[in-house]
Amino acid sequence: MPGTTGRDIATVTTVDLPPPARTGRRRSLPDNGYKGMLVVVALLVAALAIWFLIAIVIQAKPAFSTLGVGWIFGKTWNPSHGQYGLLPFILGTIESTAIAVALAFPVGLGTAVALAYLVPDRLRPVLSTMVELLAAVPSVVYGLWGLIVLAPVFASTVEPFLTSVLGWTGLFDGPNRGVGLLLAGVILFIMILPTMVAISRDVLAVVPYEQVEGAMALGATRWQVLRKVVLPAARTGILGAFTLATGRALGETVAVALVIGNSPYIAHSIKSPAATIPSLIVNNFGESTGTELSALFGAGLVLLVIGILVNSAARWLVWSTGNDSAGVGIGR
């Protein structure tokens, strides 16, 4: 302004500037308190797991005290005559899970690879949502759908076809009933597919893209990149998805109980009716007392041991293969 010195401008500017806003100091949880809270939560979870295990053992102890350990490998389940044999149900659990996993691993892994790398971007969200919606269907709905819709189709079409093609293996002997191990395995396959696909897809999607670009720059085809770069780099996560899917199949109850036939005998073919440990428990728990009730808790304890063994084997596989990814290359 005319007649105003530089000193006046400095003075005016300094006075007219608004004072800086005072912000209150943000109060945060101290590190010790945060760590203590995490420790308490971890101890609470561990205590609940220990409490659960102790309760199962206490309830199952009378059965083992009365029947010994040999009843686990018995072949006859007839509580009215004091006969308790768990072997048919153990085999039914393992066989139905094996069928489901044998179908879910290649189909789920192939679907995950397609969703992560092969499907166009505009279709990827839609297809991913459709696969994940399978996990939202209640298990009892899967069981009813299998019993009402799939069982007649299996009895009239699927099982006769498999018998004519693979009958020489001896796995498809017996009449075509529809319900049985095969149908139970297929239902379990559909139920565990979203778990296998979702986890495998997420693991495949985070493989460093520099590795993919480097392999393509060396002249590798898309199939070589997927087989020798992407899948080896993601195999630890894929094993984790496989483990979770297997655990889901081992513990499924209602859907399997509706479609497996609930036979207390060892199945001699994939088409035969059978039973699993979860279906045994859910079908007999409401009316059981005394030794039978304790035997059902013992069956649950055996199922828990099977699940622990499966998870331990998966952890060993992850440990044994987790350090080999760095050495995988196109030329190997």
Cβ neighbours of 52 (radius 10 Å): 11
- Decide if pLDDT at 322 tops 80: no
The reported pLDDT for the residue numbered 324 is 53
Residue with tokens 């994939």: 270
Q: Give 209-216's long-range contacts (Cβ < 8 A, gap of 24+).
A: 215/330
The reported pLDDT for the residue numbered 14 is 44
Per-residue pLDDT tens over the stretch 133-160: 888 889 999 999 999 999 999 999 999 9
SS3 category, 176: coil
- Decide if pLDDT at 24 tops 60: no
- Decide if pLDDT at 175 tops 70: yes
The structural domains of the chain, with segments of one domain joined by +, span 90-289+313-327
Q: Are 230 and 212 in contact (CB under 8 A)?
A: yes
The reported pLDDT for the residue numbered 22 is 52
Q: Are 246 and 185 in contact (CB under 8 A)?
A: no
- Decide if pLDDT at 323 tops 60: no
**CATH of the domain spanning 90-289+313-327:** 1.10.3720.10
Distance CA 271, CA 261 (A): 10
The phi and psi torsions of 118 (rounded to 5 degrees) equal: -110, -35
- Decide if pLDDT at 288 tops 70: yes
The DSSP letter of residue 322 is: T
What's this model's pTM, rounded to 2 decimal places? 0.81
The reported pLDDT for the residue numbered 96 is 93
- Decide if pLDDT at 116 tops 80: yes
Lowest mean pLDDT among 4-8, 58-62, 253-257, 303-307: 4-8
The reported pLDDT for the residue numbered 273 is 92
What is the number of residues in the chain? 332
Max mean pLDDT range (189-198, 286-295, 307-316)? 189-198
DSSP 115-147: IIIIS-TTTHHHHHHHHHHGGGS-HHHHHHHII
- Decide if pLDDT at 328 tops 70: no
Instruction: State how far Cα 84 lies from the chain centre.
Output: 30
Per-residue pLDDT tens over the stretch 77-104: 888 888 888 999 999 999 999 999 999 9
The reported pLDDT for the residue numbered 213 is 81
Q: What is the mean pLDDT of the chain?
A: 83
Q: Where are the beta strands (DSSP E) in the chain?
A: none
DSSP 59-126: HHHHHHHHH-SGGGG-S--BGGGTB---HHHHHHHHHHHHHHHHHHHHHHHHHHHIIIIIS-TTTHHH
- Decide if pLDDT at 127 tops 90: no
Residue with tokens 């069982």: 151
Distance CA 154, CA 58 (A): 43
- Decide if pLDDT at 11 tops 60: no
- Decide if pLDDT at 312 tops 70: yes
Cβ neighbours of 310 (radius 10 Å): 18
Question: 172-200 b/e with 16+ CB inside 10 Å = b?
Answer: beeebbbbbbbbbbbbbbbbbbbbbbbbb
